[in-house]
Homo-oligomer: A and B are copies of this chain.
Amino acid sequence: MQKPATILSIATELNITAATVSRALQNHPSISHSTKQSVLKVANKLNYKRNRIASSLRSGKTHMIGVIIPSANTNFFGSVVHGIEKCANEKGYNVLLYQSNETHEHEIKGIETFLAARVDGILVSVAKNTADFAYYEELKTKKIPIVFFDRAEDSAGISSVVIDDYKGAFIATEHLIKNDYKRIAHASGPQHLKIFCDRKRGYEDALKKHDMPLNDLFIYEGNVSIESGKTAIQYFLSLNNKPDAVFAAEDFTALGVMKELKAHNIKIPEEFGVFGFANELFGEHITPTLSTIDQQTVAMGKESFELLLQIIENKTETPVEKKIVLKPVPVFRESSQRKNIK
């Protein structure tokens, strides 16, 4: 197999210099139309492919971005990554992926790996157990282009793309209220993550708006898993004054909630309402189907990448900090709708 064509092969074939070829290939204004034509022709003939490595070394840009996700096992992240990728590829960027498995330790390792690979920027959805954002503040001072998506954090002063978690939670809770549930509990997520605080606030404010009492006993803080949903229900059912509905901070929690309710022979939605968050794939396939909040995954991916791109290209200017907030889209299904209520 012969060596791949370089800019020089083209140049010698045409009796011009590599510089001219390079410029022609970049459609540089000061190159004559005719040479551009012939360069393109020869490039094509020799099946020339630009060596991105060499070009990166020279230009300092790799045209690669890194994406850190907690896990690829959820439809949510798969779908966001899809949005990112689609958009990135259109703009000539490649996507490196790294799964943190929900630990801050791996998260850092991933970022270090990305930096070693000289990515142009990084997209991060922080791990469940990330409580300390010092590392991100450090990155910020180093001016590494970085954008948080979904799980963001204000304190680090980093741009982000999220959905309106507060509003989503508000809509969900209000929907339960309208379906005549009277004692609505909340299976919450780790409160060091803003996303889960916001959802809790949304839940609380919806109750307030409708003059329903807030009750600390009705809030269970779990860790966003099927297991924690089950535990939440065990806890709620142990109360003297038992709730009759749960707004879960996330679909897997909601799934655990439903499973445990079924184990107790409690009927959903007749006796007990359930609302989730994330619009995971399984939600429309379980029985009853799960009401939830769609997070605009593809749009989130697209916006995240585009925001990152802006930051990458703005690198020299004063760094912009932007927050993009997408609208949550409720998906009302069976688990929260009593048949006799309109």
Contacts and interface: CB of A to CB of B under 8 A. Distances in A.
Interface string A62-100: 101000000111110111011001000100001111110
Interface residues of A, number: 44
Copies of this chain, count: 2
A51 interface: yes
Interface stretch (A13-21, A113-121, A199-207, A234-242): A113-121
Contacts of A286: 282, 285-287
Given A73-B75, A78-B78, A281-B282, A51 B118 contact: yes
A74 B78 CA distance: 8
Most chain B beta carbons < 10 A, residue from A51, A52, A98: A52
Contacts of A1: 142-143
A341 interface: no
Given A118-B52, A118-B53, A97 B73 contact: no
Contacts of A53: 53, 56-57, 62, 118
A259 interface: yes
A274 interface: no
Given A1-B142, A99-B85, A282-B286, A116 B78 contact: no
